[in-house]
Structures are given as structure tokens and as C-alpha cells.
A and B are shown apart, each in its own frame.
Chain A
Amino acid sequence: MSFPAGTAAAAGLACCPLCGALGPAGSPRCARCGHRLHLRTPRSVQRTLALTLTAALLLVPANVLPIMVTVQLGRPEPSTILGGVVTLLHYGSWPIATVIFVASVLVPLLKISTLVLLCASVVRRTTAGPRQRTLLYRATELVGRWSMIDVFVVFVLVALVHLGQLLVIRPGPAAVAFAGAVILTMFAAEQFDPRLLWDHEEDARGGP
């Protein structure tokens, strides 16, 4: 694979991903900070896909199992994420229901599908819309941490609501799965090297 003229890679230089210093592409480590130096993150697509797949797998128990168990007068009442959304809608608090639905259901799914889409575009050497795809990637990276809001809510409630026999809230097994899924998608987004998105486009433009 060759790099189009005018790029750092073509000049045999690689940029340190941590401190931004340019160094010779062949050297294994950054001369300034000692970080690993690569032209492109190695096995970026594979890693991203693997992590995304794991996250997707974790999303299944996260949505099927109860995320929170409300023990009211000794009577446990488990609730799933979607069940909670439905309950909130029943009570008419649709803004909160929307927030939870977006943050806990829509965003993880969109993230996973976006990452899969990006990886697929890299593998298939798609050239169309590199700017949009980059935008998509940036959005994915940005929004990732906000998915943790659900987990955050659950753990705040667990810590706060401890009224003995009267009312106790316990985290459900889905909370761990959901947190794992969110963390894994964040890692996956991290692992993805956005430079791959435009490599082929520049290949195509620069020509052989």
C-alpha cells in the first residue's frame, strides 16, 4: 500500500498519536514521549469489530435481564430497561422516557451499527463520503460516554435508596452487562483509526 504524495506517510514520517510529534515512520516508538509509533493503528478494524461484536452480545442480556430490582416491603420487583421506559410512559413522564430510551437503547445500537458500518466501509474500500463518515465517527466517539447515564442512574439509586425493609433498590445483572457493552463500544471507537476512512479515497484521488 502506498500513500499519496504530500502526506506525512509519503514522506516517511509518522505522527505520534499521543504527543503529536513527527518521527520517522520506521521507528517503533516516539522519540519524544516513547509512545508506540504507527502509521495506522495496527489491526484497527479487527479490534474494533471484535469489541463491537462483544458489546452487541452484551446488549442482549443487558436488555433481557432486569437492570434494577426494587424491593418494596420484601417483595422484589425487577425491571428491565425497556420495561422502565414503558412504565415511565405509562406515568406520562415521556421526556424522561425519551432520554432513557435514547441514551440506553438507541445510542448503543446506533453506535454499534455505526462502528460496524465504518469498519465495513474500510474493508470494502469505500470511497464515497469520507467527510460524512468522519463526522459519523466523531459523533460516535463523542456520544459514547453519555450512554453510561443509565448505569449512573441505577448506581446512584442503589446508593441512595436504602430504606431497610420498606424500600431497597438493588442493581440487576443487566447493569453489569450494559456497563460492559458501553465500555466496550467506547474502546471499539477508540480502537478505530479514522485515518483509514480516507486512505482509500486519497488512493483513488492520488492514483498509483
Chain B
Amino acid sequence: MADPEAGVQVERSRRPSAVWLLPILAALVGAWLVWYAARNEGPTITIRFPTAEGIVAGETRLKARSVEVGIVESVTLDAERDGVVVHARMDPETRDLLREDTRFWVVRPRVGFGGVSGLGTLLSGGYLELAPGTGAPGARSFVGLDDPPVTGPGTPGVRVVLVSREAGSVHAGNPVLYHGYEIGRIESERFDPDRRVMRYEAFVEAPYDRLVGDRTRFWNASGVTLRASASGFELSAGSLETLARGGVALGHPEDDAPGAAVADGTEFTLHPDARSAEEDPYRRAVPYLVRFEQSVRGLEPGAAVELRGITVGRVRGVLLDAVDGSAFGDAAQPIPVVLELEPARLRLPDDDSGETALRQVLTEAIGNGLFASLQTGNLITGQLYVALDFDPEGPVGRPGRAHGFETLPVRSTGLAQLEKKLGQVLDQLAALPLEGLATDASATLARSAETLAALERTLARIESTLASDSVQALPAELVDTLAALRGTLETLGPGSPVTRRLEGTLTRLDRSLEGVEALSRALEEQPSTLLRPVRRAPDPIPGGDR
């Protein structure tokens, strides 16, 4: 095309260059990228939290099991200004994680007895953890949790409610123990202001959920318990772990079957310790009202009610509502105490029929002389229990009703009776005429003093008499007299002429007496000898003729 002769012609090409493919390609790739991103953009969700602490727009991630599934785009105050709304952009493939019951919570560093968690967030900042639910998918608006849930939704097991009067040392996250082995966890704790009780939600995982039945008892396994009860002192402590962390134990009365399975949300009483759980192993209890005319100091709620030493129930408490304030002036104002008698303790069925049967039994027993009395169980602590016993002499009272309860006859016994008797003795003592006695005694004493003075004078006179010369000469005369007496006696001693003569006289007298004796014998045998001579037969010769 270039012709040197005609001058060089520059061809101005109108044909588009292949290089245009480059921007077209770039634009296409860019457009595809934009379209792809737009198409795969995950859903936007809103989560409500009470506070945005630790949540930073554009930085805080959403994670499910530590896998990043989204990012917080913005954080705004909600319309009521009492919370925050977190807008988060989720990853597109996480769509089916967003279900009705999906739960969100902020992961922060948490240090507790249950362990340390979220330590990684100390430096990296918090993140939102997501626990996928099992409900209907498609939810886009959620309410965040304050604390991490203990168990994920859909975990097989049973969730029960434990009701406790005291908050104690049980907290969310504490283990639920069976014979010391962890079978579940406390999920949440809440104070119910209406019923004024603590409500704990406990979750027991499968397969241990079958250990939870309608006869299961729960108690606080943490802490050290020192009990002074009517049966003495008792110190009990859980394991070191539960001591430090707290925990709830469950068990069954007398270790038998847990009973029928329970539904989620069933309510159980959380006993303060194992003892009280054991003491309350039955569901049914029949309340009875007793009115003691003595101090109930030392009678605690939960104290035993014993029938001749066998526990048949426990004390529910003093029915203060029934105490008439204006009647306190009345000395006879009794203190109403409510007892709970448990049919199952008497081997009656633990249901309605058992209650009916127990009432019948008691009505009959009252007719046979049943009465309740306060007894001292522990002299040191002064703990009392209620004893039921029979009066062999017949009925003590009649069954009645008061303040909506059936009543039992009462008799003051034990310490109160002792007190009464002591009082009577003291009264009698006081009634003794001690004053007169004292007067008499003092008069007697005065007279005694006079007597003593007289005695003293007499003694002085005796002394002066003894000191006189005649009395002093007495011993010497006595010695002379004794010497004369000895001389006289010597003249009478053996070998002396008087004695010899006496001996000769006596010998003769003896012989004379022998002759008299022979005469008297002869006279005795033959009184006729006095008149005629005796003819004697010849003396028989032994062995003469045969």
C-alpha cells in the first residue's frame, strides 16, 4: 500500500484491534464476579441483645462451632432504646442454619469453676456463636442469649425444672450427678418473684434420662452441711469438685426404681442436702394441725414426727397465720404447728387412696388414745420432735378441724412437763413456814448459849475441886489401901494355913457327901431298907455253866 514514489501513505485502519478483547474480558469477568457475589450473598439477619458489649460492626464474626459463618455489619440501638439490634450478613451456604430456634450468644472470656472458656477472645475480641436449631428454616430475626446455652437444641434427654427456696451455690453450668457421675447439667437459673423460689432448668442427657422418674429426688450436692437435728450432729460434704463448683445430685428413695418417666418441664423440689431429700421421699402428705401449749423453740420445719420411734412424717412449720395477735395476752394461747404425715411411710399407697386410708387410721387411733407431744431429741441443741403416742387410759381428745386442717389431740410432755413439776416443787418449797423455823432456831440457839455458859461454870468448879489438897492426897491413900489389900490376899494364897485347912475341910465334906449319895441311892432302890436289912443275891459269874 505504501508507494515510495507517491509518498508514503499511512493506512488508517478502521478494523478494531484484537486488543479490545482485553477490556471486554475484564468487564465480563468483573460483571460475572459482581453477579456471582450478588447471587451468593448470604441472608441478612438481625439479632437482639441487651448490650453490644464486645460486638464491633464490620469486625465481629459469627461462628458455628468455630467455623466462620457470617459477619456483623452494623449495630444499632433498638426502637425502645433498651437493647441493641445486631445486623449480620451470613454466608450463603449457612442458610439452613437459620431456623426458628437457632440461638446466638456472645462468646467472651469466661472464667469460672466450671472451667475457662473463650480465652481466645481475650486478644481477638468476642464473636457471636451460633447454635443451629431444629425448627422451621427461614427465620431472619433472633433474640440473642445472655449466656451460652449448656446443651444444644435437639440433644436427646429430659429437661426438668428444679425449684428451690434458696439460691444456694447451684448455678447454670453445674453438673447433675447420679452417684457422683455427671449425667447432665444445670442450664439456667431464674428467681420466680411470684412464688419466691429459685427455678433451675436441668438437662439430663440420654441415656441417663431414664434415671429421672416421678420418684426421683434432687438435692444440692455442693457445700458442707453441718446439721444439728433431733438425732444429733452430722457433717456432710460433697466431692471437692462439687464443693468448689457446686452441683445437683439426684437419687431415689431407698435406691429403688425411678418411677414413671416424666415429661419435659416437670417440676421437682431441689432439696438443700441429701438428708432432707431422703427425709422427703414421698409425694403425698396429709397435713394435721396440732396446738401446743408450750414453747416450740427448737422445733424446726422438717423435724420428724414419730409414732413410737418410727418416723411417719415431718413438721411443716408453725402456722403463724392462725395465731390471733390479739389473743397473745391469753396465757392459754396455743401455738399451732402443722405436721405432714406421709401415707407411704406407713406402707400405705402413695396416692389419694393412701391419704384417705391414713385419715381413717388416724381417726381410729385418736379414738384409741392417740395424742401428739413435743419431745426433746437432742438435749445439747434442744432440738424437738413431735412424738405420737397412745394413752392407755383412753381417748385424750376428739378429732376436730381448725384453720382448714384436721387436728390431733395434744398433751404436754417431756421437758415442759418436767418444768411444770419442777415449778410445783418450787412452789411447795416456797410455801414451807421457813420464817417460823428460823425464829425457833434462833431461840434454841440462845438457850443453848445459856446452857453452855452454865456448863462452863460447872466445869470451872469441878476444876477447882480437883485442885484442892484432899483430892490431891487421894492417890497416895489409894496406894496404901492397895498394899494392905495385897497383904490380905497373900494370907489367903495356896500353901497358906487358911487354904490348907479349907482344903482338908472340903475333902471331908466330899467324903461325907459320897456316903449320903450311896444312902440316898439305896433308899431310892429299896426304900424298905430303912426298916429291914438287905438280902443281896450272889454276884453273877459270867460264863459259869453252860
Contact = CB atoms under 8 A, between A and B. Distances in A.
Interface stretch (A48-56, A91-99, A133-141, A148-156): A48-56
Contact of A26 (B2, B10, B120, B124): B2
Nearest to A43: B17
Nearest to A48: B19
A207 to B, nearest CB: 14
B27 interface: yes
A58 interface: yes
Interface in B404-425: none
A60 B4 CA distance: 48
Contacts of B12: 1
A112 B33 CA distance: 23
B111 to A, nearest CB: 19
Contacts of B10: 1, 3, 9, 39-40
Contacts of B20: 46, 50
B125 interface: yes
A73 interface: yes
Nearest to A58: B26
Interface residues of A, number: 30
A2 interface: yes
Given A42-B13, A43-B13, A25 B23 contact: no
Contacts of B25: 54
B125 A75 contact: yes
A16 B544 CA distance: 213
A153 B120 CA distance: 31
B124 A2 contact: no
A160 B16 CA distance: 45
A144 interface: no
Interface in A82-105: none
B30 interface: yes
A53 B23 CA distance: 6
Interface string A15-40: 00000000011100000000000011
Nearest to A53: B23
B8 A50 contact: no
A50 B9 contact: no
For the complex, would chain B's binding face be called helix, strand, loop or mixed by DSSP majority?
A: loop
Contacts of A42: 13
Interface in B1-60: 2-4, 7-10, 12-13, 16-17, 19-20, 22-23, 25-27, 30, 33, 59
Interface in B106-130: 120, 123-125
A50 B22 contact: yes
A14 B9 CA distance: 12
A51 B59 CA distance: 37
A27 to B, nearest CB: 9
B23 A1 contact: no
B8 A46 contact: no
Nearest to A2: B7
A50 B23 contact: yes
Contact of A61 (B3, B17, B30, B120): B30
A25 B12 CA distance: 15
Contacts of A58: 26
A46 B17 contact: yes
Contact of A47 (B17, B30, B120): B17
A46 B2 CA distance: 22
A117 to B, nearest CB: 18
Best-buried of B3, B16, B17, B59 by chain A (most CB within 10 Å): B17
Interface string B263-292: 000000000000000000000000000000
Contact of B19 (A12, A43, A61, A77): A43
Interface of A: 1-3, 9-10, 12, 14, 24-26, 39-40, 42-43, 46-47, 50-51, 53-54, 57-58, 60-61, 72-75, 77, 184
